[in-house]
Amino acid sequence: MKLPIADSAQVRAYTRHLFRLHRRPLTRIAALHTLAAIAGLAGPWLLGRLVDAVADGTTTGYVDTLIAVGAAAVLAQTVLIRFAQRSSMVFGEMVFAQLREEFIETVTSLPLSTVERAGTGDLVSRTTNDINRLQHAVRFGVPRVIVAVVTITLTVIATLIMSPLVAIAMFVGVPTMVAVVRWYLKRATPAYQRESAAYAALNGTITESVEGARTVDALRLGKRRMGRVNTDLSEAFVAEKATLRLRTILFPAVDLAFVLAPVAVLVWGGYLASNDYVTLGTVTTIVLYTYQVTGPVWELIFWVDEIQVAATSLARIVGVQLVETDRVERPAQPADEDIAARGLRYAYREGHDVLHSIDLDLAAGERLAVVGPSGAGKSTLGRMLAGIHPPTGGSVTVGGVPLVDLPLDELRGHVALVTQEHHVFVGTLADNLRLADEGADDAELLRALDAVDARGWVDALPDGLSTEVGSGGAPLTPAQAQQIALARLVLLDPHTLVLDEATSLLDPRAARHLERSLNGVLEGRTVVAIAHRLHTAHDADRVAVVDGGRISEIGPHDELVAAGGDYAALWHSWQHEQA
């Protein structure tokens, strides 16, 4: 299952919403930049006046006055730029902080079923790559675009005020430029995305080669890995050539506009000046404006391009908000702690049921083992029983109330899913445990660690509970990480646990230690254990054999063995092997 991506209308709506939300600071920033840009127009204007003054003969007093005005303009621009830049950057930081905090909040409240099925890869890349790319655009791009737009607009207005007649000549190259820039911008985003995808693939290839260096060596995959590097580089080359082609057309087209503009202004202005429509000083000013506006135009093109790319990141960030909730809370109190499934069906894709009408009653405190071949639907059943996915048909209830009707906080107090996946969060060990119970004091945390047999190594850590763990902190073995996960369960204290191969990925030694930790957690709870190993089944009060999305056999171990069905056959072969 893929997470949604917002379409362009949704991205536009979101951007408009942001603009509306921050209309006041944006107006202030634009005003400051406008004033700064006006001050920036003084130089060429003064020079034009000087040219006229020199041509007409003038006094040093007049020249000094003009220069003093110029100096004042520079000072004014300096001060205005200082405040304009500061407030636009501070504003950018504020908006962006808000945006990323909102995003994380959305992510951490994604529906359980989405989180389980979408995997975390896509979300991680949205949280890191997309946020960073957007940050670049918001932090640097938006202020630059504002400055560029304001400067270009004011320069055009200034020339029109000074002499609309001469100003016309300035635009001689503009139609081609606009046409080419539009052509370019339409193609730039996908082309640059292809480029960065190619480099990402190359980085991925190198990462894989390094991480799998032993396997590369053992299976003599070196040539293949090198071939992959070359393939990635070829793709990067093709992508680079494509963007280069775009620029090969863009650059001269824009340059041409800026070559033609001063030439046209000089010739047309010279003609007008010789007929006394304008002074040569005015022509000078406008020629200098055409040179001066080159920088902002390039900057605008560059940033529009970047912002287009950032918009695709924004689409992925806004997209997460589009995930629909998978459950509606309803007020109802479970009558007891018995979990029951009735006519339970589930389909990941419509019409392809993975579970076919399952009925199951769990008595409080019983241990049910679920066995069966891979792909039979064991894990899906487990997730249904833990209230992760709302069923496609039928229901799973606790004390008569459907699990998916319960508020999440309450659901967690009833039933928890334990998988082979574990994750140690960046933070102290205590932080890691308190996830399950924010109010727990240190004594309670230690009791929980005791219960899972982890007290020994925790006490041996340099700072005990306050030791920093997770990425960059004290390294923990997979078994220790799993024990932390189990200690969290003790703190969470649900009456029912669904174990999905909780220890199957660990090596046999670690698994042995963990089994004991696990016993500390299972004590006094209803347990559904999805198992590979038959001993778990033998140990349980009842065994359910799941095959093809149905419970084909269910009952106590001895009864099933006596019944002589699939389970019995399996058991006998195992028993036989054991001897």
Partner 1 sequence: MRNLPLDDPGNPPLSGPVRYLWWLTLRQWGILGVAVLLGIVLFACQAALPLLTGHAIDSGLAHGFGADLWRSAALLGFLGLVSAAAGAVGHRYDVANWLRASFTSSQLVGRTVSRSGHAITAELPTGEVVSAVANDALRVGELFAVLARFVGSIVAYGIAAVLMLRISVPLGLVVILGLPAVAVSLAALIRPLQRRQVAQRDASGRLTTLGSDTVSGLRILRGIGGEGVFNARYREQSQRVRERGVDVAGTQSWLDALQVLLPGAFVVVLVWLGAHMAIDGTITAGQLVTTYGYAAFLGWPVQNATMMVQAATRAHVGAGKVINVLRVVPSSGATPGKAPMPAAGAPLVDTTSGVHVDAGRLVALVSADPDESARIATRLGRFDDEAEASTPVTLGGTPLADLDKTALRERVVVAEATPHLFSGTLAAELDVHGPQDEERLLRAIALADAHDVVDSTPGGLAGELPEKGRSLSGGQRQRVALARALLLDPEILVLVEPTSAVDAHTEARIAARLVDARGGRTTLVVTASPLVLDHVDEVQFVQDGVLVASGTHATLLESAEPWAPAYHRVVGRRLDDSTPADGVTIITDAVDGRALDAAGTDDDPIADEAFDELLATFDDDLDDHELDPTTPPRTGGRS
Q: Contact between 137 and partner 1 (CB under 8 A)?
A: no
Find the shortest distance in angstroms from Cβ 86 to partner 1. 4
Q: Contact between 466 and partner 1 (CB under 8 A)?
A: no
Residues 357-416 that bind partner 1 (CB under 8 A): 373-375, 408-409, 412, 416
Q: What are the Cα distances from residue 503, in Å, to 485, 515, 519?
A: 12, 8, 12
Nearer to partner 1, 133 or 446 (CB): 133
| Binding residue (CB under 8 A) for partner 1 from 153, 271, 361, 548 | 271
Name residue, tokens 């799941």.
546
Q: Contact between 244 and partner 1 (CB under 8 A)?
A: yes
* d(C-alpha 484, C-alpha 449), whole Å: 8
Q: Say whether 22 sits in a helix, a strand or coil.
A: coil
* d(C-alpha 454, C-alpha 516), whole Å: 10
Q: Contact between 65 and partner 1 (CB under 8 A)?
A: no
For 225, counting Cβ atoms within 10 Å of its Cβ (0-12 exposed, 13-18 middle, 19+ buried), the class is: middle
Residues 165-194 that bind partner 1 (CB under 8 A): none
Q: Contact between 447 and partner 1 (CB under 8 A)?
A: no
Q: Contact between 422 and partner 1 (CB under 8 A)?
A: yes
Q: How many other C-beta atoms lie within 10 A of the C-beta of residue 571? A: 18
Q: Which two tokens stand for residue 172?
A: 């001689």
Find the shortest distance in angstroms from Cβ 76 to partner 1. 10
Find the shortest distance in angstroms from Cβ 104 to partner 1. 5
Nearer to partner 1, 172 or 304 (CB): 172
Q: Which own/partner pairs from 190-195 qualify as long-range (CB within 8 Å, at least 24 positions apart)?
A: 191/239, 191/242, 191/243, 191/246, 192/243, 192/305, 192/309, 193/309, 193/312, 194/239, 194/242, 195/236, 195/239, 195/240, 195/242, 195/243
Question: Under rule CB under 8 A, how many of the chain's residues touch partner 1?
Answer: 173
Q: Contact between 495 and partner 1 (CB under 8 A)?
A: no
* d(C-alpha 553, C-alpha 376), whole Å: 13
Q: Contact between 479 and partner 1 (CB under 8 A)?
A: no
Nearer to partner 1, 342 or 347 (CB): 347
Binding range to partner 1, per CB under 8 A, among 156-164, 233-241, 303-311, 547-555: 233-241
Residues 311-350 that bind partner 1 (CB under 8 A): none
| Binding residue (CB under 8 A) for partner 1 from 203, 325, 466, 477 | 203
| Binding residue (CB under 8 A) for partner 1 from 190, 251, 407, 463 | 251
Nearer to partner 1, 342 or 473 (CB): 473
Please, which residues have CB within 8 angstroms of residue 222's CB and are 6 or more apart in sequence? 216
Residues 24-63 that bind partner 1 (CB under 8 A): 40, 43, 46-47, 50-51, 54-55, 58, 60, 63
Find the shortest distance in angstroms from Cβ 371 to partner 1. 8
Q: What are the Cα distances from residue 368, in Å, to 53, 409, 531, 539?
A: 100, 25, 10, 9
Say if CB 255 and CB 132 are below 8 A apart: no
Calculate the CA dihedral of residues 255, 258, 263, 269 and round it to 10 degrees: 170
* d(C-alpha 496, C-alpha 499), whole Å: 10
Q: Contact between 273 and partner 1 (CB under 8 A)?
A: yes
Nearer to partner 1, 9 or 121 (CB): 121
Find the shortest distance in angstroms from Cβ 398 to partner 1. 16
Q: Which of 229, 449, 318 is nearest to 3 (CA)?
A: 318
Say if CB 47 and CB 288 are below 8 A apart: yes
| Binding residue (CB under 8 A) for partner 1 from 28, 194, 342, 533 | 533
Nearer to partner 1, 167 or 289 (CB): 289
State the DSSP string of 95-160: HHHHHHHHHHHHHHTS-HHHHHHH-SHHHHHIIIIIHHHHHHIIIIIHHHHHHHHHHHHHHHHHHH
- The two beta strands, 367-371 and 526-530, are parallel
Find the shortest distance in angstroms from Cβ 28 to partner 1. 15
Find the shortest distance in angstroms from Cβ 343 to partner 1. 26
Please, which residues have CB within 8 angstroms of residue 293's CB and are 6 or more apart in sequence? 151, 152, 155, 156
Say if CB 522 and CB 453 are below 8 A apart: no
Residue spans of alpha helices (H) in 321-428: 378-385, 408-414
Say if CB 499 and CB 421 are below 8 A apart: no
The contact mask relative to partner 1 for 102-131 (x = CB under 8 A, - = no) is --xx-xxxx-x--xx--xxx-xx--xx--x
Find the shortest distance in angstroms from Cβ 296 to partner 1. 14
Residues 297-316 that bind partner 1 (CB under 8 A): none
Q: Which two tokens stand for residue 31?
A: 């005003």
Binding range to partner 1, per CB under 8 A, among 177-185, 238-246, 302-310, 395-403: 238-246
Q: What are the Cα distances from residue 13, in Å, to 10, 17, 238, 407, 506?
A: 5, 6, 35, 31, 49
Binding range to partner 1, per CB under 8 A, among 148-156, 178-186, 338-346, 427-435: 427-435
| Binding residue (CB under 8 A) for partner 1 from 7, 27, 174, 252 | 252
Q: Contact between 79 and partner 1 (CB under 8 A)?
A: yes
* d(C-alpha 579, C-alpha 577), whole Å: 5
Nearer to partner 1, 149 or 342 (CB): 149
| Binding residue (CB under 8 A) for partner 1 from 503, 525, 545, 551 | 503
| Binding residue (CB under 8 A) for partner 1 from 1, 31, 237, 336 | 237
Residues 209-228 that bind partner 1 (CB under 8 A): 209-226
| Binding residue (CB under 8 A) for partner 1 from 64, 359, 441, 459 | 64
| Binding residue (CB under 8 A) for partner 1 from 30, 156, 440, 511 | 511
Q: Contact between 259 and partner 1 (CB under 8 A)?
A: yes
Nearer to partner 1, 342 or 511 (CB): 511
